[in-house]
A and B are shown apart, each in its own frame.
Chain A
């Protein structure tokens, strides 16, 4: 599964265009940033409602390549700028973390099968 699938397959809204498309190897769902740091894998996507700059910082440090903001949470311009600068794709959806996790889990499992 690729990052661009979030847009084309699931209809998530890209918070900026021209992000680097790459393969997504896994995912992690959490709103606790320390938990994300210790558990999220490389080249994974983060499903969260923490729509601020510090989420991007955490993603950069642990090698998360994309962030999905759930529940249509407002995303600050600062977060978008910072994601762009760090080369991390940023999406938003009205779905909950539970729903998004389910979708991604199935897609990743099918991709591996």
Chain B
């Protein structure tokens, strides 16, 4: 069964939902498992008693494989119900990690023929299992909640707080130097499909303005590192770019969760990224140091619960 949700385009509200929900928010933690030497007849009984269609085979908390209804039918057909689960389970299992956003589970269901995915925790131990019906149930509950919230907003419209809305700092308006460029792009946690778009647009704009290639390159690096930090670590943020008076200013502002130890975060090699983010080639602990090195000026303001604002500026020779 496919889950007909567009994980790339689609409604912003739905996208925010499926990116903010994690696999661990949706998975079933109550696991029915069997060991490798459990007989297939016993496995069948477990499935029937618990009303489930797949049983993970484990050695303590380590996942060895999974026995599905299909595996069971084959064993039945061949009269091998007395044999152990180990010789009938599917050993190459596609797994998810509990920190992954729900979008991963949805695209896995649509991509693979499997109907359930065991979920592993940070240490690689089996933490739960996720099925299409888990996803649909949670999504319906969350969508209902969101629709109620939206209906309430329509009934009682709130005034927009200008300080909270992204864009130019109103205090800086009216200065004599003309703004050459002002761009702003939202980012979303774990949106690796969209990651880099802000920096690509920014780089393109700098190039079009005829700014020196080596400065464009440094600005693009700083921008990309900060953008990726928002995608990897924040709950979403905004990338803002302002060119004025021979200065390029990159402001990366996010809503949280904030950095506990800023000094450590600026140390090369320090990283809080989890394993699947590292497997994509990110989270090496080079991001902030790279951004800092690429700029002429660097400032960071962050505290847990408040979010993070990083500001990088680069000087450039304004046109003749």
Contact = CB atoms under 8 A, between A and B. Distances in A.
Q: Do A and B come from one complex?
A: yes
A42 B221 CA distance: 13
Contacts of B281: 31-33, 48, 50, 54-55
B282 A61 contact: no
A55 B228 CA distance: 12
A35 interface: yes
A61 B291 CA distance: 14
Given A33-B281, A50-B280, A54-B281, A61 B290 contact: no
Contacts of A50: 280-281
A16 to B, nearest CB: 20
A34 B196 contact: no
Contact of B282 (A33, A48, A78): A33
A63 B224 contact: no
A37 B195 contact: no
A33 B195 CA distance: 13
Contact of B220 (A31, A55, A61): A61
Given A32-B284, A34-B287, A50-B280, A57 B221 contact: no
A110 B192 CA distance: 39
A37 B290 contact: yes
Interface of A: 31-35, 37-38, 42, 48, 50, 52-55, 57-58, 60-63, 78
Given A33-B280, A35-B286, A57-B200, 8 more contacts: A32-B281, A33-B228, A33-B281, A34-B284, A37-B221, A54-B196, A61-B196, A63-B217
